[in-house]
Structure 1
Amino acid sequence: MLPIHDGLSGIADRYDHFIIDVWGVLHDGVKAYQGAADAMRFLADKGKQNLLLSNSPNRSSRVVEKVIGPIGIPHDTYKHILTSGEAAWAHMRTHHAGQKVYTFWDDENPTALDNLGVTRVYDVREADFIYGSLVPYDAVELQYADVLAIALAHKIPFVCGNPDRVVGHGDSLHLCVGTLAEWYEKNGGAVTWIGKPYRPIYDQAWEMLGKPDKSRILAIGDSLVTDVAGASTFGCDVLWNVTGIHWEELKSDHAANTIDPAKVTVAVKGHARPTGLLHGFRV
């Protein structure tokens, strides 16, 4: 059985640097988890260097403005923030500047294409590439089938700025653009994946931290397929926060607010193995 940590107080002194997921660790898509701000303060007061690493398709500054600040996470409790949206923006600046782009959103990600010189088109057949970032919370995969089929026929490359398949929003889960990119790739389309679990974003985070010894880094995230897999490939320890998107499949049927070890064993089978489990991001 994997070790279970009921908070950070018993493990924090083993590490100097923390790579912390946002959705599913600090908040549930609507509000901060109880104790999350205190946990960030606890680590900062111990002199830990905290980096927030998110698969948000929004650029880093917008996540600070629209998410981190409003949920009450003090700015002085983390040194850096890096989002997949920021990494995707840098990728597009290098590889797609001046091209025509098709997106799945209207005006919900206003800074995603800033200063790239790209032109948004509303007929995918006119696009040089697709940028997958946001889809509406009520979106279903089927509604994009026609657009994706046309894009496949025209061999239009797909840049995925959020590899997550689903995202938590309060007590429910909603489709993410990673689901569309996965379908596109499985059907023969070319997809550039940007964000967790892929190595480049971890290397960038590592550089932002000053390239410390990886044995002194702890990653914390709630997704087996992005957070745990990505940190494992990168080569640092990782705690799987079980109170995030996997909670409903892991919780005990017999005791409130308790995980079922047998369900954990089933869940991790075939996935990268976390260093341990975290029962909520708190002190």
Structure 2
Amino acid sequence: MTAIPNTRLISALDEIAGQYDAVFCDLWGCLHNGVFAFPAAVKALQSARRRGVTVVLLTNSPRPQASVIAQLDKLEVPRDAWDLVVTSGDAAQFGLLSGAVGRKVYHIGAEKDLAFFDTFADDLAALAASQPAISRVPLAEAEGIVCTGLRDDMSETPADYRAELLLGKTMGLKMLCANPDIMVDWGDKRIFCAGALAEAYEQDGAEALYFGKPHPPIYDLARRRLAAADGRENLSVLCIGDGINTDILGAAGEGLDALFITGGLHTEEFGTDPAQPEEARLQSWLGQMGRAPRWSIPFLA
């Protein structure tokens, strides 16, 4: 096996922020947990911006940019902690509008996700206006499936969707997955995301299309928006996140440095104290996972 370079444990983003022009920072598990924002993370991003670093919040949320900004405001994340928001929903909307799964689609997801079908950022609005309408229809009439998540992610699991997924596979329908995350932590509860349904769909032999991390479309969109806002190209970017198979794998695929948050989704792998991960266990686990983030930190601070 190829040797995995050691990740360097740091205690504050300020230690390394000066090496980068921009950061692509995850939201869930890094900046908030769906219930409240993390004050230390907010301060870290504010400090980075004062250094001249452009902060792009890069999230696998299936909802478009405007909906995520509204959620950030509700969680009292100050506007001076970030510059841009790019969502998996934004990137997936491009696929939807381009007809990746047809114009008549069956939606799996909560009512809170319906903005995905009619709320577009400025750089997608022109495309939406130029294309035939997308309509949501019953599964029997669908040309494809759009999955933004579970209808009730606080109580349901992928098993509740077994019959729908089998019928979709039998019909030969592709699934557009608007959020590749398998799980996230909502407060102290771990809930399933759209990626868990897409994974189950693929395990049944059907096809799922992904647009969020770790897949290229969301990074392409983030780079375009960053270049438009900053005016420079080929900026040095640091990716920050707690998902080893989304944030960290995605950074590696894009050739970008990563800062791995050990106190998030995988915290139990590194000892009993999330604030003090055991370095030997961390290095060993990263080797087993085949991942090599340049930096690690217990929590964004």
Could you say whether these structures have the same fold, taking a TM-score greater than 0.5 normalized by the shorter chain as the test?
Answer: yes
What are the superposed Cα offsets for residues 14-49 of structure 1, whole Å, 9 maximum, x if unpaired?
A: 111111111111011211123122112111111111
User: Residue type matched to 2:74 in 1?
Assistant: P
Distance 2:60 2:215 in 1: 11
**Structure 2 counterpart of 1:121:** 137
2:260 is aligned, of 213, 223, 240, to: 240
**Structure 2 counterpart of 1:81:** 85
**Structure 2 counterpart of 1:94:** 98
Q: CA deviation at 1:98?
A: 7.3
SS in 2 for 1:258: coil
**Structure 1 counterpart of 2:184:** 167
What are the superposed Cα offsets for residues 221-244 of structure 1, whole Å, 9 maximum, x if unpaired?
A: 110000000011101100101121
**Contact residue 62 and residue 148 of structure 2 kept, 8 A:** yes
**Contact residue 202 and residue 231 of structure 1 kept, 8 A:** no
Q: Which runs of 5+ in 1 are unaligned?
A: none
**Contact residue 20 and residue 52 of structure 1 kept, 8 A:** yes
Distance 1:97 1:15 in 2: 38
**Structure 1 counterpart of 2:112:** 108
The number of equivalent residue pairs is 277
Q: Is the alpha carbon distance of 1:267 and 1:139 closer, same or farther for their aligned partners in structure 2, counting shifts above 3 Å?
A: farther
**Structure 2 counterpart of 1:213:** 234
Greater mean deviation of Cα atoms: 161-170 or 100-109: 100-109
SS in 1 for 2:28: coil
Q: CA deviation at 1:146?
A: 0.5
User: Residue type matched to 2:103 in 1?
Assistant: Q
Distance 1:146 1:164 in 2: 22
**Paired residues for 1:140-179 under 5 Å:** 140-179=157-196
Q: CA deviation at 1:191?
A: 1.1
Distance 1:256 1:167 in 2: 17
Distance 2:63 2:32 in 1: 16
Distance 1:17 1:170 in 2: 28
Q: CA deviation at 1:106?
A: 4.2
Distance 2:47 2:149 in 1: 33
SS in 2 for 1:229: helix
Distance 1:58 1:51 in 2: 16
**Structure 2 counterpart of 1:280:** 299
Query: In proportion to residue count, which structure has more helix?
Result: 2
Q: Does 1:8 align with 2:5?
A: no
Distance 2:241 2:168 in 1: 33
Q: CA deviation at 1:263?
A: 2.9
**Structure 2 counterpart of 1:261:** 279
User: Residue type matched to 2:41 in 1?
Assistant: A
What are the superposed Cα offsets for residues 67-92 of structure 1, whole Å, 9 maximum, x if unpaired?
A: x1122222233221110011111211
**Contact residue 275 and residue 298 of structure 2 kept, 8 A:** no
Q: Which runs of 5+ in 2 are unaligned?
A: 1-5, 120-127
Distance 1:3 1:212 in 2: 28
Greater mean deviation of Cα atoms: 126-135 or 256-265: 256-265
**Structure 2 counterpart of 1:42:** 47
Distance 1:40 1:61 in 2: 20
**Contact residue 224 and residue 271 of structure 1 kept, 8 A:** no
